Amino acid sequence: MKKRIKAHISSQLDAAEVPVTKPKDSSFGHFCTPVAFSLAKVYRKSPHAIAEELCEKLLHGELFDKVEHLSGYVNFTLSDRFLDEFATAALRDGDRFGEQSEGESILLEFVSANPTGPLHIGHARGAIFGDVLMRLGRHLGYQITSEYYINDAGNQVDLLARSLHFKGRAELLGEAVAFPPECYQGEYILELAKKAQAHFGEAIFQPEADLSALRDWAKDEMMAWINDTLKEAGIVFDRFVSERSLYDRWDDTRQALEKRGALYTDEAGKVWLASSQKGDGKDRVVVRESGEPTYLAGDIIYHGDKFARGFDRYINIWGADHHGYIPRVRAAIDFLGYDPERLEVLLSQMVALLKGGDPYKMSKRSGNFVTMEEVGQEVGYDALRFVFLTKRADTHLEFDIDLLSKEDSSNPIYYVNYAHARICSLFEKSEHAHSDMAEVHLSDLGHDAKELLFSAMLLPEVIDDAFHTRQVNLMTDYLYKLAGKVHRFYTENRVVGNEKEAQFLKILAVSALSIRLGLKLLGITAKERM
């Protein structure tokens, strides 16, 4: 809709680009442009004079009912005919409403949690954010591949094996051994130890047992658990990449870095990445004195592998505690001969969940954190998704889950779903079929009907803005406000039996489409009955 308006104004001005925005005060119109200010120097006229001339040109057409200028700005009110044309096209497009064909390829990496325990609620926020960003991007035509980087090398997976080993000796074999404080806590460790006993037998818990097999098995078990949780939440990855599998390429990666002067060795035998040459605050160790590559070495191999696959762009969604890793990874990408500007790193902040005003209690099963699985099962993943998307991912989120049991506007997902269900109920009562709405002609719309239709038609712009600004909360904000307008229209207007019943139903059909599709892009199925 906005593109059509911009193109029309550009044709009247012979201008390549015309900025079009929504005025802060909706009483001024649906859209406005400040283009008169930028053209003032070109035409050597005042913005007022240019705006006045533009109004005269734009009044002769079918796009606008009203064109006015104020203080150099030109304000437009869309015509019923123009809105009807787009409403009809939207209804015929259905779930393809707002689709584009950008075509650019993007590798999107998110979650990438250590396979040493269940996903916690912080992981859930990044997982939902990444999944929705992917859905929005694909709707716009981007070729997005989703990827999970399994951190299965290094001490954390070894510690998982040790945790199971000690838990098995103490709890299953009854040995008097102290559980090391650094080991992983929670009843899930005992559950996993019982599975290990069934798989390997008691021999796996003997003091002299080789823990490498236990480590690999436990990692796979945890990844299966993590993947099941993600699937339950509607999150499916295209590809999983094992960190451990990449270390075979370390020698080649090291040689590539050495050729570009990226590495140096100190007296103790440590190998350093000269990342300070590329904007990092200091140089970073990539090989320890023992000759063992560090975690950063794995990241370097992985990002070299990513860029070698030839995507147009790369997006990583990391926890906010990984902020310091961004400059060093960018430096490594640069040293490997790739453009670090093609990598975008988005940060996801932690979540504080409340229940009845008090901190949400952690289960004994998980140990010292709240899991994605337990909260998802308690409140439902639709509610969890919507709540987690109500704020920017890079800001802290605190939410009381008891609000999700309320049936009023304080519960955002209920409020939006109820608007959709109300529209469905109107079609059940009416003799007009939903499938016939594209054939209904809109005319002589009142202010409320016109504003509701205009709001419903804004979904494509919101999808575009939400993806390109990486603020997927724009979607939840839009849906909540659109639902509010549906509720007001429903309350203030008799629809079934009204002389404009068919027209009102067409407007509500478009509203239902925008709510249903908007929720679908958030990974939520709209309710038809409540």
Max Cα distance, the chain (Å): 91
Is residue 393 within 8 Å of residue 472, measured between CB atoms?
yes
The pLDDT value recorded for residue 15 is 66
pLDDT of 363-391, one tens digit each?
Answer: 767 677 899 999 999 999 999 999 999 99
**Number of Cβ within a 10 Å radius of residue 34:** 17
Burial of 438 (0-12, 13-18, 19+ CB in 10 A): middle
400 pLDDT higher than 90: yes
Q: What's the CATH code, domain 408-521? A: 1.10.730.10
Is residue 482 within 8 Å of residue 419, measured between CB atoms?
yes
Q: Which two tokens stand for residue 283?
A: 């140089």
Least confident of 236-245, 368-377, 446-455: 368-377
What residue spans define the domains of the chain?
2-78, 155-232, 408-521
pLDDT of 199-216, one tens digit each?
Answer: 999 999 999 899 999 999
Rounded CA-CA distance 482/112 in Å is: 35
Return the bridge partners of 241, or none.
149
Is residue 411 within 8 Å of residue 403, measured between CB atoms?
yes
Rounded CA-CA distance 524/521 in Å is: 7
Which single residue is written with the structure tokens 């051994």? 177
Q: What's the CATH code, domain 2-78? A: 3.30.1360.70
Q: Which two tokens stand for residue 471?
A: 């603020």
- Residue-wise burial string across 191-213, b where 16 or more C-beta atoms lie within 10 A, e elsewhere: ebbeebbeeeeeebbeeebeeee
DSSP string, 343-409: EEEEEE--EEEEETTEEPPPPTTTSSS-BHHHHHHHH-HHHHHHHHTSS-TTS-EEEEGGGGG--ST
Closest to 486 (Cα-Cα) out of 503, 509, 463: 509
Domains 2-78 and 408-521 share a fold: no
Non-local (6+) Cβ contacts of 435 within 8 A are: none
Q: Please, which pLDDT band fits residue 328 given cuts at 50, 70 and 90?
A: very high
pTM for the full predicted model: 0.93
Is residue 472 within 8 Å of residue 389, measured between CB atoms?
yes
Winning range, highest mean pLDDT, from 263-272, 360-369, 405-414: 263-272
